[in-house]
A and B are shown apart, each in its own frame.
Chain A
């Protein structure tokens, strides 16, 4: 009897436990269309099914009580629905499209991205450097993008009617106060950073996030490599000098460094120069990145130093004898940044930088010595509250300490200095209303000690996806910048310079083809004005300048239509005028050409194992002021043309021979004119053209990589 009882109980328990309940229903997308092949199951059990053509599903389960019904499907957000098995009734589940998919809308107005994480790549990381004529300079490669003005005598980035100092450069989110190498008047400079250590960049020509301030026109964000792939050594032998790079990896850390010595003497001997070099340009530069991987974060320490010196004689219309300029420049920059996960899905990004620059400049016996210490401290938090709502906020602190001694042995000496600190706070939200509509709204407040006033800088951008491949974006933002060093060293009561950006963008992206059109309007207020030939200690300064810039930027990139060939074409039209500096009234400044066009092509010839690069750039003429005419800034230079070629030949997997020539046609480009300060006997002001330092630039290099896998090479970096 006892046995029978046990039996009954056991059997009852057994069968009760195995009693089957039916779970059924239907899966649809947001619009009610059935979704086929979605996976539906009770979490932690084997019970489930795949939805059929009509979106319906049905399966049996022996589970009871509270369970979680999981529905998953590629490119949709998972549904996790708690149910009670016994009381479950068939129902329809609507799935929301994931906003993290490739074809979701992106907030991209104003921005060009190159890198692994960018959903839409206008440029790929290698493009920065495989562009003919760029000579491994990140900035020259960027000048083939729309929205930039090629200013040949400067070599810096001029974006949408802005001066070069209106662009700020950031490495791993931390500001670089002195991004360019030292140079003399009207001689082009280069960016300080070799592309070897960077894995991606974002170049924004306007309307950027509230995370970035103190930039009226543009931000350039460079990201160092997070994790190198292997130990390797890179050796470069070039007509201009030598380079050595090495990467070493350990379990949780790695170190990369890069050293280069450049000496232009052999090149200047071979190629006729338009200026006289007393001492050819030479520089010694080194960069290194150290990375340490914690369980939930990454620390990166970047450091760069460079030393450069040269001496030249430049003809000057105001002097009978050529002007002798000599420069010794020492520059050091370091930054440390940490990116890590905190509990509750918070992400922290923090870091600091310190930069030191020392110049010793001699101009015809006048000695100018200046030094600048600058640093940036940053703290930022980010949280993905849901897939559709992300919040970030943070703060910045910038410090600058500048000191200059001007010493003319015959006349007088003058010391100028300034200290400034800028503190800023910002907050920003990314909201995805759907896969097709997204909004970024941010706010920034900044307080500059020298100005003694707080800015209010709203930033908004909106993106709407129209169809599968196209999207429209709008952006608006207010931007403030403390005036530059040239003024601050003499002007102690400045106000911010200010601009607003209005941007409308259309982008089309179809497998290897990208089209981008952007129209913008910027109005400039409170620009610095002064009343002398150049900004001096005794000039009278005010903030009464103003201006505007408006234009259209077009970009087309295609790497699909022609086999082994990639090309991109940029065209910018700009209409801009400003009344600033010592201008008589509002005119187009001298660095602006109305039409800018460039085409970059890269063709891979398989039989020759070679990549052939051709870059052509054209600018219409730029305005200049001719004092012999009564109207201010009324003349125009002739148009600018530059055709550059490059050839990279893969000798073997790890050896590359590289040839490059810029301005093959030897176009005699004129960037503007210097006029005499006083008229000659005939009442005419004599002039002198500002031209290229040499008509052509030749470069031959041999690049050799030594690595364990015997496969990697430096093609990326050419």
Chain B
């Protein structure tokens, strides 16, 4: 009898190992990312994405990692490669999960990176689209802190340039801080970033 239990225990362990493969993979990918190895992290997310056919999260993080890297890269050719890769992953994620506020924010960020890449060409073309995306995201998830914060941050640039009142925008950023504090991600692997940057921007808001 005890042998049977052992057998069952081993099997169950086996099943548990199989179940947590996703979790282990995601955790390892996040670890690689935090160790400043975005290439390896992205490679692992790609593998997870290829295995978990219905999960949008691995693709979301591929898009996020590549876009974040594009913002800090100077080499123009590399930026194009990173953003194309981000967009490719974004498209896959959107197919799996349409009308997802987090993915709308991601798309807006990719466009914003293109604007930063060449403001003269892409500014006029993409600003309207970015605004449109944030509007849609806000309708879907009015209390998602990333939606509120990223939208406000995007609007802040334009308002500063034209000298219009930034107070209502700063108000939104402050609101996002509260939303961040109360935000509960759906799973440990769902997006939950943004508080640090929101705090930093909120600080510059208070100065003015």
Contact = CB atoms under 8 A, between A and B. Distances in A.
B12 to A, nearest CB: 11
B62 to A, nearest CB: 11
Interface stretch (B3-11, B181-189, B191-199): B3-11
B157 to A, nearest CB: 11
Nearest to A68: B50
B132 to A, nearest CB: 5
A248 B182 CA distance: 38
Given A7-B3, A653-B158, A41 B47 contact: yes
A7 B7 contact: yes
Q: Is chain A's binding surface mostly helix, strand, loop or mixed?
A: loop
Interface stretch (A69-77, A162-170, A209-217, A666-674): A69-77
Interface in A37-67: 37, 39, 41, 43-48, 50
A484 interface: no
B43 A709 contact: no
A3 B1 contact: yes
A559 interface: yes
Contacts of A45: 47, 50-51
Contacts of B55: none
Interface residues of B, number: 40
A707 B4 contact: no
Contact of B158 (A74, A102, A103, A711): A711
Contacts of B128: 229-230, 707, 709, 711-712
A716 B121 CA distance: 10
A684 interface: no
Contact of A74 (B7, B47, B85, B124): B85
Contacts of A6: 4, 7
A4 interface: yes
Contacts of B47: 39, 41, 45-48
Interface string A697-718: 0000000000111011001100
| From B40, B76, B128, residue with most partner A Cβ within 10 Å | B128
Contact of B162 (A39, A70, A652): A652
B94 interface: no
A566 interface: yes
B51 A559 contact: no
Nearest to A48: B47
B170 interface: no
B48 interface: yes
Interface string A2-23: 0110110011001000100000
A50 B82 CA distance: 17
14 contacts: A6-B7, A39-B46, A45-B50, A46-B51, A50-B39, A102-B77, A125-B125, A511-B76, A566-B120, A652-B162, A708-B131, A709-B128, A711-B128, A712-B127
Given A41-B50, A46-B25, A709-B135, 6 more contacts: A11-B10, A14-B11, A43-B50, A103-B77, A653-B162, A711-B158
Interface of B: 1, 3-4, 6-7, 10-11, 14, 21, 25, 39-40, 42-44, 46-48, 50-51, 53, 76-77, 80-82, 85, 120-121, 124-125, 127-129, 131-132, 135, 158, 162, 164
Complex A-B, nearest 9 residue pairs according to Cβ-Cβ distance, in ascending order:
A709-B131, A39-B43, A229-B128, A41-B47, A7-B7, A48-B47, A50-B43, A229-B129, A37-B39
